[in-house]
Structure 1
Amino acid sequence: MRQQLLDVLRLLDTTPAPRGEERAAAHRVRGWCAERWPHIEWQVLEHGPAGGSLVAAHGAGPLLYSHLDTSLDDDGAGIGLVTGNFAPVGPLSVAGDNVAGFGLGVARGPVAAALVAFAEAGAGRLLLAGSGTHRRGGGITGLEAYADAYPLPRSAIVAKSGPPILLWQEPGSFYLTVRVTGRSGLAMLPDTATPPGGVIESAGVVLDELARWRTDYLAADPRVGQAGRACGVGAISGGWSPKPDLLPAQLEIGLYLVAGDQVEPKALAAELADRLRARCADSALRNCVVEVEAESGAAAAATPADAPVVTAARAAWLDEFGAEPSPVTGWTGSTDGVVLRARGVDTVRLGPQMRPAADDPRCDEMSLAQLGAYARVYRRLLTELPA
C-alpha cells in the first residue's frame, strides 16, 4: 500500500488542479487509473467552463468523497498573495515514513488514501470532485454536478485531513463583503477625496469595528453538538497598486464566517452594516456609503450519532488505532459533508493529520504509515456499509 500511495501522490504532485479548472487534471488522473486498475470504469464528470471530477463505482454502496483542487493554486498568484512567498514550490519529497509536498493536506494526501482504498475495496463509489474548496463566487461544484447526474447513496465518507477526530456534524460557512465608498482623489491634493486623504487612510476605523463585531459573534456561539463558530478577515483591498498617487473611492474587506448553529447570512450582513454605519458616522468616513453583502454557502448539518455510518466508522477507528477517536466540540472546519447531509446522506468525516513542512511552510508533511491506516479504514467502510 505504501508504494501505491506514493505513486498516486507523485501523480497528483505533477498535476496542477486549480479550483474550477480541474478538467485536464481529472482526465490525466482518469487515464492513469485506467492503466493501473483496468477492471474499474473510470469516468470524468465535467462541470462549468473547465471544471471536472473523477468518478467511479463498484456498483451500489457508500460514497467515498474527496476533492482534486487545492486550497491555493501552486501555479498562480494566490499562493504568493497569501503566504508572501512567490518563489516556485518544490516537488514532493520522501524521507523514511515522512512525505512532504504542496497541497497534501488540502487534499492530495486524503485523495491518495481514498483512491487506493476504493481500488482495493471492490465496493462502493468514489468521487474526487472539482471545486471542493471554498471560494467567493465559486459557481457550480463537482459535488453539485455529481448529485445532479447520479442518485446519491444513503451514506458517505469524506476523506479530509484534520486532527484525530471523527466528525458526524460540521458547521456551515459563508462570506461577507464589506464595501465603504467615498470619492476618489489625488494623493498630491488629498482634500479632493472623500474623506480627505481617501477611504484607505481610515481603514482602521472599519477594521476596529469589525474586530468588535467578531468578538460579539463568537461570544454568541451556542456550541451545538460538535460544531462551533469562527470568523476572520481574510482580504482587504482598495486602489490600484501601480498608481498609488490616485486615492481610491472604495475600500473592500472580505470576511469568512463559520457557524455550527443555524444563522441567516443576510440578517448578519444587515446587522453588521448597521454597526459599521453607526461607527463610520462618528469618523472621517461619515459621508461614505457603507454596504455589506452576504454570499451564502451551505448551512450547518448533522448526521445522527447512532447512524450506521457513524457506528461503523467508530468501530473501524477503534480496530485500526486501538482507541476511540478524540471527542470534539467547537469544530470550525466546513467541507462538502454539509452539502451531502443537507441532501439526506448520512456522512462522516475523517482523515490523516498534517503539519507544515520544515523546509517550506507552504507545503505539508504527512506520515505514509498514517495515510495507509486511513486508507484501510476507508476500505473497510466501503465494504461493510450497506448499499
Structure 2
Amino acid sequence: MAPGRRRLGTLLTPQRDAGEEIVRVLEVLDGVPSPYGHESAAAVRLASWCTARWPWIDWTVQRYGAGGANLQAGGPAGVLLYSHLDTSLGGDPSEDRPITGRADPPPPLKVTSTHVEGFGLGVARAPAAAALSGFVSAASRGVPARLLLAGSGTHRSTLHGPGGTPRSTGLDHYLATEPRPPAAVVAKGGPPTILWEEPGALYLRLRVRGRHGAVLARESAVPHGGVIAHAGPVIDAVERWRATYVAAGTAPGTQVGPAAGIGSLTAGRPDKPDLFPALLEAGIYAVTVPGAAPQDIAAALRTGVEAACGTGPLADCKVEVDIDEIDPAAATPADAPIVREARAAWRAEFGGDPPPITGWTGSTDGVVLRARGIDTVRLGPASRPSPDDPRCDVLDLASLKAYARLYGRLLTRE
C-alpha cells in the first residue's frame, strides 16, 4: 500500500481512543476460542474486523497445519512486532478441567472504566491487543513495520502419546516463508521492565516402569500394589532434584534464572481401575539458563530417582527420562540497537530507565527469534489473577494504553 494511501486512510477512518480500540479487539478475541494449534477461526474473525476498521492496511491470515493460523499485517520491511493468538488454557472446560478442576465455562470479558478482566488476557490476548493498537498507530504514520499475531505460541511438549506429536508453530512457519526482519519486539506480559535475555524451555518425561497386575490379586503387580501405590518416593525424589537444580543453576550477571516442577502425573486408565498399571509417568518442566545441558539435567533427575527407589518396593522397576528441548536460553547483546531503542522508548513513556531484573524464569518465542540471529526485546503489561475466577486475568487499561504507545514508538524507532 502506498504511503499516500495510508495517510488518506487515516483521514477517512474515524479515530478512537487507544483504550477503546484495545477493548474492541479484546471483545473480538473473546468471542472465539483459540486453543493451541487451532487458531484459524480467531485469526479469520480478527482479520475481518481489522479489515473493516482499517481497510488501508493489508491484513492476511496465514494458515499452517490442520488448524493453525497467523494474522499478519504490514509490509516485509521494518521491525517485527510479535505476539500470539493462542491462550495457555484452551477455554474448553472438558479439556482444561485436569488443570483448573472446574467444569463450568469461563466467564465473558468484563470491562470497566479502569480495567479489563477475562479469560486468556494474560497469555496473551491483552498484550496482543496492545501490540495491534501500537502497530496501527505506527502504520498510520507510514512506518514500514510488520505485525505478527501467531498461532501455537505457548509451549507444548511433544513427549505425550505414542511417538509424540511433531511441533509446528506459527512463528516457525512465518520465519520459513517471510523475509527475515532486522529486529523484533515480543509483546508478552511480564515484569515491568525490558528483557533482552530469556531462559530456555525444557520438557522431561520421567517413567517408572514395573509390571501390571490386578487389584484382586495384589501380588500380581511389580511392585506389589502397583506403581501408583508407591508414587510418594518418586515425587519426593523429583522435588529434591528440583531444589538442587534451582540452587545450582543460577546465571550470575544475567537477567534470567532456573525453575522446575512436576506438571503432570499419570498412570492407569480411569475406566479400568480394577487393574494395576505398570507405568507411572511424570511430566516435568525445566526453565534453563545459558549453557545448560539437557542431557546432564535428565541424567541428574534419573540418578536421583533411581537412588531413592533402589532399596524400596520400586527396586525392581526401571527408571527412564526422555528429553524434549523446546529452545535453549538465548540473549540479545545489551548494546544492540533494538535494546537501546527500547530503553529510549521506555524513558519517553515512563520517565525513567527500565528497572534492572535478575532471575526471570519466563521463556517465550523470543528465544526462537534470537536463535535465528534476530535481535529481540520483550516487554509487556503485567496481569494479575481475577479474585473471582483464577482462570481469568485482570489488566489496567492505562497500562495497556501505555504499552500500545511504547510499541508504536519502537516500530517508529524514535
Category of TM-score, reference length = shorter chain: over 0.9
Q: Aligned partners of 2:156 and 2:109: how far apart in 1? A: 26
- Tell me, what secondary structure is at the counterpart of 2:128? helix
Deviation for aligned residue 1:275: 2.6
2:266 alignment partner in structure 1: 237
Alignment of 1:145-184 (within 5 A): 145-184=173-212
Q: Map Cα deviations across residues 283-341 of structure 1 (whole Å, 9 max, x no partner).
A: 10111111100011111111111111111111111111122222100110000001101
2:13 alignment partner in structure 1: none
Contact residue 386 and residue 392 of structure 2 kept, 8 A: yes
Contact residue 154 and residue 344 of structure 1 kept, 8 A: no
Is 2:56 the partner of 1:39?
yes
Deviation for aligned residue 1:36: 1.0
Contact residue 93 and residue 103 of structure 2 kept, 8 A: no
- Tell me, what secondary structure is at the counterpart of 1:296? strand
2:399 alignment partner in structure 1: 370
Is 2:159 the partner of 1:130?
no
2:5 alignment partner in structure 1: none
Alignment of 1:255-274 (within 5 A): 255-274=284-303
Contact residue 316 and residue 380 of structure 1 kept, 8 A: yes
Q: Aligned partners of 2:307 and 2:183: how far apart in 1? A: 48
Alignment of 1:201-212 (within 5 A): 201-212=229-240
Alignment of 1:293-312 (within 5 A): 293-312=322-341
2:9 alignment partner in structure 1: none
Q: Map Cα deviations across residues 114-155 of structure 1 (whole Å, 9 max, x no partner).
A: 111111211310110100000112611100000000122121
Deviation for aligned residue 1:60: 1.2
Q: Aligned partners of 1:59 and 1:89: how far apart in 2? A: 37
Contact residue 86 and residue 153 of structure 2 kept, 8 A: yes
Cα 1:202–1:60 change in 2 (3 A) is same
Q: Map Cα deviations across residues 238-294 of structure 1 (whole Å, 9 max, x no partner).
A: 111122221111100000001122212123222322332232221101111111000
Deviation for aligned residue 1:76: 4.5
**How does the TM-score come out when normalised to structure 1?**
0.97
Contact residue 208 and residue 279 of structure 2 kept, 8 A: yes
Q: Aligned partners of 1:28 and 1:289: how far apart in 2? A: 50
Is 2:167 the partner of 1:139?
yes
What letter corresponds to residue 151 of structure 1 in structure 2? P
Q: Aligned partners of 1:24 and 1:215: how far apart in 2? A: 42
Contact residue 158 and residue 347 of structure 1 kept, 8 A: yes
Q: Map Cα deviations across residues 339-364 of structure 1 (whole Å, 9 max, x no partner).
A: 10111111000000110112211100
Task: Choose the corresponding residue for 1:191, options 198, 207, 219.
Answer: 219
What letter corresponds to residue 319 of structure 1 in structure 2? A
**How does the TM-score come out when normalised to structure 2?**
0.91
User: Which one is further off, 261-270 or 376-385?
Assistant: 261-270
Percent identical pairs in the alignment equals 52
Alignment of 1:1-387 (within 5 A): 1-122=18-139, 123=143, 124-137=145-158, 139-224=167-252, 225-384=254-413
Q: Aligned partners of 2:97 and 2:191: how far apart in 1? A: 26
User: Which one is further off, 99-108 or 42-51?
Assistant: 42-51
Q: Aligned partners of 1:76 and 1:68: how far apart in 2? A: 19
Contact residue 205 and residue 321 of structure 2 kept, 8 A: yes
Q: Aligned partners of 2:320 and 2:190: how far apart in 1? A: 35
Q: Aligned partners of 1:143 and 1:262: how far apart in 2? A: 24
Q: Map Cα deviations across residues 200-246 of structure 1 (whole Å, 9 max, x no partner).
A: 01101111111111111111123241011010111001111122221
- CA RMSD, 1 decimal: 1.3
Q: Aligned partners of 2:395 and 2:174: how far apart in 1? A: 29
What letter corresponds to residue 281 of structure 1 in structure 2? G
User: Which one is further off, 264-273 or 11-20?
Assistant: 264-273
Q: Map Cα deviations across residues 59-109 of structure 1 (whole Å, 9 max, x no partner).
A: 510000000000001125343211212211110001221110000000000
What letter corresponds to residue 163 of structure 1 in structure 2? P
Cα 1:211–1:23 change in 2 (3 A) is same
- Tell me, what secondary structure is at the counterpart of 1:297? strand
Contact residue 114 and residue 378 of structure 1 kept, 8 A: yes
Q: Provide the aligned length of Structure 1 versus Structure 2.
A: 385
Q: Aligned partners of 1:4 and 1:24: how far apart in 2? A: 21
Contact residue 266 and residue 293 of structure 1 kept, 8 A: no
- Tell me, what secondary structure is at the counterpart of 1:207? helix
Unaligned runs of 5+ in 2: 1-17, 159-165
User: Which one is further off, 371-380 or 258-267?
Assistant: 258-267
Q: Aligned partners of 1:52 and 1:59: how far apart in 2? A: 18
User: Which one is further off, 191-200 or 40-49?
Assistant: 40-49
Deviation for aligned residue 1:163: 2.1
Unaligned runs of 5+ in 1: none
Q: Aligned partners of 1:78 and 1:221: how far apart in 2? A: 34
What letter corresponds to residue 152 of structure 2 in structure 1? S
Stretches (4+) displaced over 2 A: 76-79
User: Which one is further off, 29-38 or 72-81?
Assistant: 72-81
Q: Aligned partners of 1:251 and 1:24: how far apart in 2? A: 37
- Tell me, what secondary structure is at the counterpart of 1:236? strand
Q: Aligned partners of 1:324 and 1:82: how far apart in 2? A: 38
Deviation for aligned residue 1:110: 0.4
